Amino acid sequence: MSYSYSLSTSRGKVRLLIRDTTDEVVPIKGEHYVFSDAEVDAFLELNSEDVWAAAADGCNALAADEILGALRLKLSGFEIDRTKVPEYWNKLAEKYEKKAKEGAVVEFIDSFAYEISEFGEDDSEYMGDPV
């Protein structure tokens, strides 16, 4: 599994949004990066290269992974609660999905030449500009 992180690439921007920004061992987790380059590229490919939508898929994947370790442990006044972690990633995914939809190109008709043929067919010419 390869890892690269550069903010000049879409892959790097997705990594930034999902906080997958280091290939160094994280002392607390004892882990390196979460996703390989190929996995981040797959998120981008599945979402037509949309960074926000790809990051949302990454967050959803992280939520699914965190569900496996979601536990609540309480011992003599000491409590560890990891049941909210998947919820955090899902909420972040929702925000990124909203950003992806806000940036979508929408077509509208700004002018047209109305014309109906002698057979009742619409031969009008519609012209629109992306918003």
Model confidence band, residue 66 (pLDDT cutoffs 50, 70, 90): confident
Given this model, what pLDDT does residue 70 score? 75
**pTM over cut 0.85:** no
Domain map (residue ranges) of the chain:
10-105
Given this model, what pLDDT does residue 86 score? 85
Q: Return the higher-pLDDT residue of 88 and 116.
A: 88
Residue 129 φ then ψ, to 5°:
-120, 140
Q: C-alpha distances in angstroms, 74 versus 6, 29, 68, 71, 79?
A: 41, 21, 18, 10, 4
Task: Summarize pLDDT for 8-43 with one digit per residue, the tens.
Answer: 999 999 999 999 988 777 555 556 788 999 999 999
Q: Judging by DSSP bridges, how do beta strands 125-130 and 107-113 pair with one another?
A: antiparallel
